[in-house]
C-alpha cells in the first residue's frame, strides 16, 4: 500500500527543506524522500553566500537562528589583473544589500532539525526510481526493499540529474542548455581567509577565486582544463598556482593550510520551460542549473521554494490555484535574469587562451568591462543589485 501525504517532496537540499518547513508551518502534511544519508547530506560542502532575499525568507519564517548566530555579513568584492586591484563595496551600492556567509551544510543541518521539530517526515537512503506527474506518485528503493508514495502534489527538488525533471514529457517542455566549456577546480582549505573580500583574479594562466567560508576555512577556485583529474592537483601544486594567479609577489602571501576537498566543477547552464507539469513542480537545480560564477544556485532554490509554498498553501487551504497555475510564469523571468548575470560574470572572469583568434581583442574588451565597473557608478549600482539580488 502506498504511503499517503499532501505534498511529496523529492530531495533534502535547501530547496526541499525550505519548502517542507514553510508548508509544515501552515499545518500541511509533507513527506521528504532523500537519496543520501543524513550524515552525507549534512556534510556536503557547497557555496555559502546567501543573498538578501534568502536571508529575509529564512528570518521571516523562523529558519535563521543558526545563520543569525554564526553567519557573517559580507559587502565587498575585489578584482585583480595585470594592471592592479580594485575593490567594490557593493553593500553601499545599488539597494545597499549584503551577502550573509553561512556554509550550506550548516544551513541544511539547521533546516533538517527544524523540519523534524515541526513534525515533518523525512526518510534518508531512498532512491526514487519512477515518477508519475499525473498522480503525484513515486516508486522507490530503500534498504528494506521497495515502496510507493503518493501526494496531492509533488515537488521535485532532486537536482539537475534527478528523476523528477525527467518525468515531464519531452514534447511538453523546452530545454535551454549551454556548456560554457570552462571547468574550475574547487578547493576547500583548512586555512583562514587571506583577504578581507571575495577576490576574483584574472591571469593568463586562467581565473582564480578566493571566497570566505568561516574563520578557519577558505574556498578557492582555479580554472583548469575540463578534462583535468583533481587528484593530479597536489596541495603544493594548488598553492603554487594560486600564488601565481593571485599575484602574491604584488599583493602579499596567501595563508596556507591543508587542502581538505578538491573536485572539478563544470560551468553549465540548463533551464527547462515550463518547470511544472500536472501535479509536479520543480524547484532549485531540478528547474534550472546555473553556473557557480555568481553564487545564485541556493538563492534561486530558496526563492522558488517560497513562491511554491505560498501557491500550494493557497490551493490547499483556500481552494485558490491561481498562483499554482502561474508558478512557472512567476519564477522563470527571475531565473533568466540570474542566468544573464551569471553569463556576464563568466565572460568577465574567463579570458581567451593565448592561441585563440582575436585573443588580443577579447582581452581588451575585458579590460574595458573592468574599467567601467571600477569607474562608472551606474555600472556599479547595476552590478551590486544583480550580484546580491534575484
Domain boundaries, the chain: 3-74+98-177+269-344, 181-267+356-388
Q: Calculate the alpha carbon distances from 67 to 15, 21, 71, 372 in Å.
A: 17, 16, 5, 34
Cell of 356: 585563440
pLDDT at residue 352 in the model? 74
- In angstroms, the CA 253 to CA 247 distance is 9
Supply angle C-alpha 183, 187, 191, rounded to 5: 155
C-alpha to C-alpha distance for 13 and 285, rounded to whole angstroms: 10
Residue listed under C-alpha cell 593550510: 257
Contact (Cβ atoms closer than 8 angstroms) between residue 387 and residue 380: no
Q: Model confidence over 183-242: pLDDT tens digits?
A: 999 999 999 999 989 999 999 999 999 998 888 889 999 999 999 999 999 999 999 999
Instruction: Give the rounded percent of residues in the chain with a pLDDT score beyond 70.
Output: 99
CA 115 to centroid of chain Cα atoms = 21
Q: Which residues are catalytic?
A: 74, 200, 292, 296, 387
Asked if the model's pLDDT at residue 125 lies above 90, the reply is: yes
**pLDDT tens, residue by residue, 19-69:** 999 999 999 999 999 999 999 999 887 778 999 999 999 999 999 999 999
Do the bridges between strand 174-189 and strand 153-156 make them parallel or antiparallel, or are there none, so unpaired?
Answer: unpaired
Domain 181-267+356-388 of CATH type 3.30.9.10? yes
pTM score of the predicted model:
0.95
Residue carrying the nine cell digits 578557492:
220
Cα gap 223→266, rounded to integer Å: 10
Question: Nearest 5°: phi and psi at 224?
Answer: -135, 165
Specify the CATH superfamily of domain 3-74+98-177+269-344. Answer: FAD/NAD(P)-binding domain (3.50.50.60)
**CA 71 from centroid of its chain's CA atoms:** 17
Amino acid at each position: 500500500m502506498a504511503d499517503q501525504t499532501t505534498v511529496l517532496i523529492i530531495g533534502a537540499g535547501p530547496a526541499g527543506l525550505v519548502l517542507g518547513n514553510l508548508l509544515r508551518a501552515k499545518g500541511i502534511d509533507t513527506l521528504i524522500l532523500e537519496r543520501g544519508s543524513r550524515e552525507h547530506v549534512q556534510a556536503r560542502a557547497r557555496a555559502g553566500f546567501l543573498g538578501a532575499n534568502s536571508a529575509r525568507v529564512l528570518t521571516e519564517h523562523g529558519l535563521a537562528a543558526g545563520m543569525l548566530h554564526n553567519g557573517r555579513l559580507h559587502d565587498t568584492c575585489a578584482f585583480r589583473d595585470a594592471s592592479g586591484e580594485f575593490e567594490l563595496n557593493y553593500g553601499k551600492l545599488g539597494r545597499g544589500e549584503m551577502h550573509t556567509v553561512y556554509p550550506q551544510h550548516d544551513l541544511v543541518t539547521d533546516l533538517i532539525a527544524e523540519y523534524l521539530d515541526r513534525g515533518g517526515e523525512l526518510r534518508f537512503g531512498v532512491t526514487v526510481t519512477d515518477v508519475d506527474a499525473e498522480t503525484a506518485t513515486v516508486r522507490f528503493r530503500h534498504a528494506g526493499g521497495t515502496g510507493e508514495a503518493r501526494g496531492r502534489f509533488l515537488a521535485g527538488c532532486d537536482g539537475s540529474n534527478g528523476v523528477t525533471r525527467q518525468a515531464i514529457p519531452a514534447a511538453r517542455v523546452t530545454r535551454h542548455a549551454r556548456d560554457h566549456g570552462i571547468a574550475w577546480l574547487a578547493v576547500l582549505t583548512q586555512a583562514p581567509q587571506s583577504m578581507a573580500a571575495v577576490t576574483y583574479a584574472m591571469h593568463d594562466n586562467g581565473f582564480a577565486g578566493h571566497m570566505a567560508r568561516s574563520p578557519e576555512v577558505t574556498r578557492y577556485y582555479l580554472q583548469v582544463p575540463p578534462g583535468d583529474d583533481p587528484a593530479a592537483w597536489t596541495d603544493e601544486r594548488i598553492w603554487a598556482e594560486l600564488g601565481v594567479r593571485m599575484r602574491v609577489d604584488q599583493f602579499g602571501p596567501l595563508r596556507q593550510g591543508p587542502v581538505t576537498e578538491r573536485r572539478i566543477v563544470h560551468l553549465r547552464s540548463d533551464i527547462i520551460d515550463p518547470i511544472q507539469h500536472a501535479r509536479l513542480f520543480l524547484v532549485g537545480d531540478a528547474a534550472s542549473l546555473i553556473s557557480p560564477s555568481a553564487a545564485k544556485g541556493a538563492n534561486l532554490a530558496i526563492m522558488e521554494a517560497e513562491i511554491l509554498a505560498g501557491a500550494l498553501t493557497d490551493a490547499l487551504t483556500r481552494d485558490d490555484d491561481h498562483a499554482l497555475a502561474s508558478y512557472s510564469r512567476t519564477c522563470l523571468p527571475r531565473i533568466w535574469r540570474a542566468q544573464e548575470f551569471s553569463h556576464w560574470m563568466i565572460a568577465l572572469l574567463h579570458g581567451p587562451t593565448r592561441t585563440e583568434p582575436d585573443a588580443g581583442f577579447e582581452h581588451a574588451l575585458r579590460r574595458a568591462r573592468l574599467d567601467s565597473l571600477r569607474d562608472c557608478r551606474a555600472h556599479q549600482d547595476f552590478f551590486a543589485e544583480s550580484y546580491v539580488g534575484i
